[in-house]
Amino acid sequence: MAVKRAWQRVDGVLLLDKPLGLTSNDALQKARRLFSAAKGGHTGTLDPAASGLLPLCFGEATKFSADLLDADKTYEAVVQLGVTTDSGDAEGQVIATAPVVVDEAAIRAALPQFTGPIEQIPPMHSALKHQGRPLYELARQGITIERQARAVTIHALELLNFSGDSFALRVHCSKGTYIRTLAADLGQALGCGAHLSALRRTTVGDLNLVHAITLAELETLDEATRSTRLLPVDALLQSLPRIDLDSTAAERFTHGNPVDLPPNLVGKIRVYAENHLLGTGQPGPDNRLWPKRLVQSAA
């Protein structure tokens, strides 16, 4: 008879180095079981065909997972020249091939036109929905839907290496950027077509892959050591301005009441008392700070 798992309250953030071939949700559930965490979530999906940084949230950290959805991200991408696929990546069907007559100078010359604010047409093989159905489902049925171009920002493009028929890029970009679309558009600009052959995410906001751990490494750790890999809940909020409240103001704030807002602070704010995160607040029209999301203290 199987032993029923004893789920427990676990609060924190795990920086996971997701392997290839695993969905973000599968990776989350595997990590959640290792921690016996009663509640878990992630901060935005990473495709099964991509590896790298996947921040996972447990317990109270799940309240702030949406704060990373708008964060900038960095990827290392490998672009295969001369082969165009219907999905824009290596998993799609080849729809065109062309000889590659491209040198490193041509690639460097093409990069500036894709740097800064640009517009991208989302690929059919994406999770965007049309009349409630993901586009990738329609694409698998051979259906193509007209998509509107979307504004994104490529903050920086760095050529890492060039090997004749492929090259590697480091891409620092805004949310909503499709790297496979960038690869295909670069191939078109270079006149030979291209697709994305490999992708690895290295940063999400202020979080970095160098501090991440793999599932295989987690499995080798005992429970006590494994727990040391969890970052505090506010690891997701480090880009927000911070205020510290005295005990009286903290009492008001944690009971859903506004507190005085220090000057020159705008937007969402992380709120502390005695170096303990209380939650996040949002300035109201009355120039006071109103609670937005509150952290529940451990029993």
Catalytic residues: 47
Judge contact between 48 and 140, C-beta under 8 A. Answer: no
Query: What single DSSP character describes residue 86?
Result: S
CB atoms within 10 A of CB 226: 18
145, containing H or E segment: none
What is the rounded distance in angstroms from the CA atom of residue 134 to the CA atom of residue 108?
A: 35
What is the rounded distance in angstroms from the CA atom of residue 101 to the CA atom of residue 82?
A: 9
Judge contact between 233 and 271, C-beta under 8 A. Answer: no
The one-letter amino acid at 262: P
Phi (first) and psi of residue 287, to 5 degrees: 60, 35
Q: What is the token pair recorded at 118?
A: 């640009």
What is the rounded distance in angstroms from the CA atom of residue 72 to the CA atom of residue 26?
A: 24
Beta bridge partners of 85: 94
Strands 129-130 and 133-134: what pairing? antiparallel
Non-local CB neighbours of 11 within 8 Å, separated by 6+ positions? 58, 59, 60, 61, 233, 298
Taking phi first (over 0 means left), then psi (-120 to 50 degrees means alpha), and beta for anything else, what does residue 36 get?
left
What is the rounded distance in angstroms from the CA atom of residue 282 to the CA atom of residue 268?
A: 5
